Chains A and B, each alone.
Chain A
Amino acid sequence: MGGWMLSGIRRGTGPLIGTVVASLAAATLTVAAISTAAAATQAPAGRLASASVVVAGSTNVSVTLGTGQNAQQESLPLPAYRGVPASLGQRLARVPGAASAVGESGFPDGTVGPGDVDLVAVTAKPGISPDVLAGRIRAALHGGQGYTIATGAARGDVANLNAAIERSNGQDLGGALIAPIVLISLFVLASTTALAVNLRRRRFALLRAIGATRGQVRRAILTELAVCGAVGGALGWLPGAALGARCVRALAAHEMLPTGSAAWLSPWLLAIACGASALVAWLSGQVAARRGSRTPPAQALRETAAERKWPNPVRVALGLLAVGGTGTLMVFTLGQKSAAGQLALAFPLLLACMLAVALLGPLLVAFTAWLARPAVALDGAPARLALAAIAAQPRRAASAVIPVALAVAMVGTVYFADTSIEHATSSQASSAVTADDVLTGADLTAATLRQVRALPGVRAAAGVTPISAAVTDPDLDQGYGAAVTGGPLGRLLDLGVTSGSVTAPRPGQIAVSALEAGSSALNVHTASRITVYLPDGTPYRATVSAIYSRSLALGDLLIPASVAAGHTGTPPGYSQVLVSGGTAAELARFAAGHPGLRVTIRSVANAQSAAATAQNSFANDLILGVLGLLSAVALVNTLVVTTVERRRVLRLLGRVGATRGQVAAVFGWQAVFVAGTGLVAGAAAGVVTLLTVTRSVTGSWAPFIPLAPAVGLVALVAALTAGAVMIPFGLMSRREPTLASG
């Protein structure tokens, strides 16, 4: 039974190679994503390696969200130590089995209030296992509520609080990539398999004629695809593992995974890669297999299998539905104000756009062919032939146009969404800071600020420190903002306050960005009461004193510096002092008197949000690479197959006396048509998502599209299209002796 089913594979017919290549690409990316998401990310215990048990104030903040039945406990790792009383050391030293207990404080990240320590390192007596000791300590602390008690590998996360945050960042990214990879692979494979089946309709018709049932043909197609998928998966295993290892290193370098993290490189990945690829190929082939098995057996008898010219009405209806869905999703996405909400909806929006283009492709191609009729006048016979072939078979031409459009839409959207957000950030940053001068340095303390304010001519000065705080918007997330000292902020910053006071928030107050205050995020107005959690987990309950629109530079939250002091894990002080008024000479003299201080021009005041932007950029680049690879594979695959399939036309043209140059012009015109239509359709589909994302993140409808990358993208797509058409043409034409040279 299996013999005839898999016979197509044994001879490695062209279209099936396409399926293997697409599966290989998909498997490579899936393996890389899984090995990243499941990476071993235990941070080394480092300085705490000699401690048997490490005890610290709970390193997580936990919040109960919702009420009643919907109540849900969420927790987030904290970037700073909560601090425990120094006396805890003596108390733990008395726990049976403990040899010593030493409080530690002041390690980078660790600065807690007076009389407190960051953590207590407990050493066990010989013969007492760390776990036993941890159990006793937990009992001594009445269940350990409010403490983190770590042994073994878990000590690393207590030794380096950032490890937990980095891990959740990196693993979230890896995990978040798996679904898009699988979905886009399905997309890519569906077009490849549809083509592979379509080109062999007569083969399936013959099988049907000699008595294969529809079910047998369908199973044969699906078995073939699943085997191709599994083979592609096996081939993608090693490249995927290598890519995953690279990816983990890159993430660690970008502080999105703890240093020393190692990708998960288990042999199970091979099984996962094969299984997942086979499954994806099998799923993607469902439609194609149904269609293939429905080929009327009478078609085996016909010389030229007549292909339906117009798409199935169901396909058109689904296409229109996808257009409607795109509109609905667009409105929905614009309503989302949190970054997570936008990102979550941007991808489905892109998929809906692409689905609409894919389903309505044949109509689009027919319309473009109609528009392109004037081109016939330019180049005579070759252009006429090329256009006639397209107009006669819009469905077939669409199968070549669609991957081009998808490549443009996917890569363009992700890349230009990133450039738009970056552009908006930097332009906001330069317009948001209106201070005349900015002082930076290591020792900007309250005393420095007082001295600056006392300088002659200084009208206003304020200290600014980046800060992160956990907010419930509406899930428990890390929000970024700044701790600012009191004073007339309006003279130093132009934050675009839309409601409330332009002066700095006082203790008990908080200023929130318009994005963060939106109904789908915090959902607050001025005078609303909210609670945020400072880096060490201390809740800060405050009244919203102002809502401002320019948040990309300074972040989404402004908290009084006096409130944040002692809760950030850093020594008291500011990272920058903004100064308005005064003379440059006076400030320069002041800076010269304080070693380490520098006077700089206005710059981004929030290094932490800049770091977050850099991480986003890196994540975007990663997604971009994934999408670029998959769409390039789809594009080249489809075009090569559709070109090779026109071998008969090439032969026929040669027999009726066409020169090699003329036939090359026919294929060239087709490539121009495919690239042109694909670029326009892809740009149209991409712009919908791009505009929506730009609008919701930056508040402006104008995306920033730098010329060079845009031209580069167009050139790359054009080059890939030209190569995928003209290289197979060149190889085929060389083997056609009937083609006259010239």
Chain B
Amino acid sequence: MAPSFPAVAAGTVNDMTEENSAATTLTSAPPPTQDAPVVLEQVTKRYGRGRRSVTALDGVSLSFAAGSFTAVLGVSGSGKSTLLQCAAGLERSSSGSVRLCGKELSRLSQRKQAVLRRQRVGFVFQELNLLPELTVAENIALPLRLDRRPAGRADIEHAASRVGLSGGQLRRRPAELSGGQQQRVAIARALITRPDVIFADEPTGALDPHTADAVLRLLRDAADGTTVVIVTHDPQVTRFCDRAVFLYAGRVDRELPDPEPAMVARLIQQLGDRAAGERG
């Protein structure tokens, strides 16, 4: 991961999108809601040191309210994945504060962060989501097993049925399932601990539009009351979201409440053009 970001002053960002000013409800970050399950304050993440260092996140402040379903969008290299990794405690931020489920991550040891993840957080990734050597049922039960909690057959079947997996599929290996079915297994695994937050990194990136649609609908329905943060570059994902956050060059560029895919697509196009313009 070595993106090169053009250094952009935050103030110059807004003039380009005046035609969309009706849709642009926000141009500067609001004060984060302190009691939200995920709160980032002035989070900066730099990779490398000295002159060759790369700033992936640059003073990002965001909060994700309980039960919200948010898409984080941006062009390649805008810092979306880094945002998710820092928010989930998979990466340590260089500066700033990340509070996950009320816990300041920088004050937690690696071990406590791991325990927090398996008890309160669910993950869905684009690929390498499942351990190929475990059966579907074992993959679903993995977070419970890691937490030394009993993983009853009924719990697993219940989690599986919420994402539309049948009992017969539980004994299969991931390789025997289609891509869409594999993502359902990943969602079931993310749900089994009844987490406060689910982080998803391009969960539909490898799926056809129809299957992607079904998987997102499922996530939306199953994650009833759970905060969901999805990192994506696919505007269609925002159909299921109640909020869209756009990143550009490691900063929050703007936010949209109740985003519409067409509008999101246009904004992404603009961000892409801008990046191309700055490079050229």
Q: Give A residues with C-beta under 8 Å from B.
A: 1, 3-4, 7-8, 10-11, 13, 202-203, 206-216, 296-298, 300-303, 306
Rounded to whole angstroms, the CA-CA distance of A11 and B189 in the bound complex is: 21
A207 touches B146 (CB 8 A): yes
B24 at interface by CB-CB < 8 Å:
no
Contact of B118 among A1, A210, A296, A302 (CB under 8 A): A210
B residues near A216, Cβ cutoff 8 Å: 114, 146
B146 touches A212 (CB 8 A): yes
Top 4 A-B pairs, shortest CB-CB distance: A211-B118, A11-B133, A211-B117, A298-B90
Closest CB in chain A relative to B2 CB, distance in Å: 8
Query: Which of B112-131 touch A at CB < 8 Å?
Result: 114-119, 121, 123, 125-129, 131
Closest CB in chain A relative to B165 CB, distance in Å: 18
Rounded to whole angstroms, the CA-CA distance of A7 and B138 in the bound complex is: 9
B114 touches A213 (CB 8 A): yes
A211 touches B138 (CB 8 A): no
Query: Which of B40-92 touch A at CB < 8 Å?
Result: 81, 84-85, 88, 90-91
B128 touches A4 (CB 8 A): no
B residues near A1, Cβ cutoff 8 Å: 145, 148
Further contacts, 20 of them, CB under 8 A, given A208-B114, A302-B1: A3-B138, A3-B145, A4-B134, A4-B142, A11-B132, A11-B133, A202-B128, A203-B131, A209-B117, A210-B117, A210-B118, A210-B146, A211-B116, A211-B147, A212-B114, A296-B90, A298-B91, A301-B81, A301-B85, A301-B90
Of B111, B126, B133, chain A has the most CB atoms within 10 Å of the CB of B133
B133 touches A297 (CB 8 A): no
A residues near B117, Cβ cutoff 8 Å: 209-211
A residues near B1, Cβ cutoff 8 Å: 302, 306
Q: Could you give 12 example pairs across A and B, Cβ below 8 Å?
A: A4-B131, A4-B146, A7-B131, A203-B131, A206-B125, A211-B115, A211-B116, A211-B119, A212-B146, A214-B110, A296-B90, A301-B85
Closest CB in chain A relative to B95 CB, distance in Å: 17
B118 touches A212 (CB 8 A): yes
B residues near A210, Cβ cutoff 8 Å: 117-118, 123, 142-143, 146, 189
A211 touches B121 (CB 8 A): yes
B119 touches A215 (CB 8 A): no
Closest CB in chain A relative to B218 CB, distance in Å: 19
A298 touches B85 (CB 8 A): yes
Closest CB in chain B relative to A199 CB, distance in Å: 13
Among residues of B, the one whose C-beta sits closest to the C-beta of A12 is B133
Contact of B125 among A7, A11, A212, A300 (CB under 8 A): A300
B residues near A302, Cβ cutoff 8 Å: 1
B119 touches A213 (CB 8 A): no
B201 at interface by CB-CB < 8 Å:
yes
Among residues of A, the one whose C-beta sits closest to the C-beta of B231 is A301
Contact of B129 among A4, A206, A296, A306 (CB under 8 A): A206
Rounded to whole angstroms, the CA-CA distance of A302 and B121 in the bound complex is: 19
B128 touches A206 (CB 8 A): yes
B128 touches A300 (CB 8 A): yes
A296 touches B123 (CB 8 A): no
Whether A13 contacts B90 in the complex (CB less than 8 A), given A211-B119, A214-B111, comes out as no
Contact of A215 among B111, B128, B148, B201 (CB under 8 A): B111
Rounded to whole angstroms, the CA-CA distance of A206 and B85 in the bound complex is: 13
Main secondary structure, interface of A, reads helix
Rounded to whole angstroms, the CA-CA distance of A8 and B133 in the bound complex is: 6
Closest CB in chain B relative to A273 CB, distance in Å: 27
Rounded to whole angstroms, the CA-CA distance of A4 and B147 in the bound complex is: 12
B residues near A213, Cβ cutoff 8 Å: 110-111, 114-115
Closest CB in chain B relative to A481 CB, distance in Å: 65
A301 touches B201 (CB 8 A): yes
Rounded to whole angstroms, the CA-CA distance of A216 and B147 in the bound complex is: 10
A residues near B81, Cβ cutoff 8 Å: 301
Closest CB in chain B relative to A647 CB, distance in Å: 15
Among residues of B, the one whose C-beta sits closest to the C-beta of A213 is B114
A residues near B133, Cβ cutoff 8 Å: 7-8, 10-11, 13
A residues near B134, Cβ cutoff 8 Å: 4, 7
A residues near B145, Cβ cutoff 8 Å: 1, 3-4
Among residues of A, the one whose C-beta sits closest to the C-beta of B132 is A11
Closest CB in chain A relative to B25 CB, distance in Å: 30
B90 touches A297 (CB 8 A): yes
Whether A301 contacts B118 in the complex (CB less than 8 A), given A210-B143, A213-B110, comes out as no
Closest CB in chain A relative to B90 CB, distance in Å: 4
Whether A296 contacts B110 in the complex (CB less than 8 A), given A7-B138, A207-B146, comes out as no
Whether A211 contacts B146 in the complex (CB less than 8 A), given A11-B132, A298-B90, comes out as yes
Rounded to whole angstroms, the CA-CA distance of A216 and B111 in the bound complex is: 10
B148 touches A4 (CB 8 A): no
Rounded to whole angstroms, the CA-CA distance of A301 and B131 in the bound complex is: 14
Rounded to whole angstroms, the CA-CA distance of A1 and B1 in the bound complex is: 34
Rounded to whole angstroms, the CA-CA distance of A296 and B110 in the bound complex is: 10
Closest CB in chain B relative to A196 CB, distance in Å: 14
Closest CB in chain A relative to B184 CB, distance in Å: 16
B125 touches A301 (CB 8 A): yes
A residues near B143, Cβ cutoff 8 Å: 210-211
Closest CB in chain A relative to B177 CB, distance in Å: 16
A residues near B84, Cβ cutoff 8 Å: 301
A residues near B125, Cβ cutoff 8 Å: 206, 209, 300-301
A211 touches B114 (CB 8 A): yes
Rounded to whole angstroms, the CA-CA distance of A212 and B146 in the bound complex is: 6
Rounded to whole angstroms, the CA-CA distance of A390 and B189 in the bound complex is: 39
Among residues of A, the one whose C-beta sits closest to the C-beta of B118 is A211
Rounded to whole angstroms, the CA-CA distance of A212 and B147 in the bound complex is: 8
Whether A4 contacts B138 in the complex (CB less than 8 A), given A202-B128, A301-B81, A301-B125, comes out as yes
B residues near A4, Cβ cutoff 8 Å: 131, 134, 138, 142, 145-146
Closest CB in chain B relative to A456 CB, distance in Å: 91
Closest CB in chain A relative to B276 CB, distance in Å: 22
Closest CB in chain B relative to A290 CB, distance in Å: 13
B11-51 vs A, CB cutoff 8 Å, 1 = contact: the mask equals: 00000000000000000000000000000000000000000
Rounded to whole angstroms, the CA-CA distance of A359 and B145 in the bound complex is: 37
Rounded to whole angstroms, the CA-CA distance of A306 and B138 in the bound complex is: 29
Among residues of B, the one whose C-beta sits closest to the C-beta of A206 is B128
Closest CB in chain B relative to A46 CB, distance in Å: 61
Rounded to whole angstroms, the CA-CA distance of A296 and B143 in the bound complex is: 18
Of B114, B117, B148, chain A has the most CB atoms within 10 Å of the CB of B114
Of A212, A301, A302, chain B has the most CB atoms within 10 Å of the CB of A301
A residues near B129, Cβ cutoff 8 Å: 206
Rounded to whole angstroms, the CA-CA distance of A213 and B121 in the bound complex is: 14
Of A207, A209, A210, A298, chain B has the most CB atoms within 10 Å of the CB of A210
Closest CB in chain B relative to A170 CB, distance in Å: 46
Among residues of B, the one whose C-beta sits closest to the C-beta of A305 is B128
Among residues of A, the one whose C-beta sits closest to the C-beta of B190 is A210
Rounded to whole angstroms, the CA-CA distance of A386 and B97 in the bound complex is: 45
Closest CB in chain A relative to B146 CB, distance in Å: 5
Rounded to whole angstroms, the CA-CA distance of A10 and B138 in the bound complex is: 13
Rounded to whole angstroms, the CA-CA distance of A298 and B133 in the bound complex is: 21
Closest CB in chain B relative to A212 CB, distance in Å: 5
Rounded to whole angstroms, the CA-CA distance of A214 and B210 in the bound complex is: 39
Rounded to whole angstroms, the CA-CA distance of A297 and B116 in the bound complex is: 14
B131 touches A206 (CB 8 A): yes
A residues near B138, Cβ cutoff 8 Å: 3-4, 7
A residues near B201, Cβ cutoff 8 Å: 301
B residues near A211, Cβ cutoff 8 Å: 114-119, 121, 143, 146-147
B123 touches A209 (CB 8 A): yes
Rounded to whole angstroms, the CA-CA distance of A296 and B86 in the bound complex is: 12
Among residues of B, the one whose C-beta sits closest to the C-beta of A208 is B114
Closest CB in chain B relative to A251 CB, distance in Å: 45
A residues near B91, Cβ cutoff 8 Å: 296, 298
Among residues of A, the one whose C-beta sits closest to the C-beta of B81 is A301
Rounded to whole angstroms, the CA-CA distance of A202 and B126 in the bound complex is: 13
Closest CB in chain B relative to A128 CB, distance in Å: 69
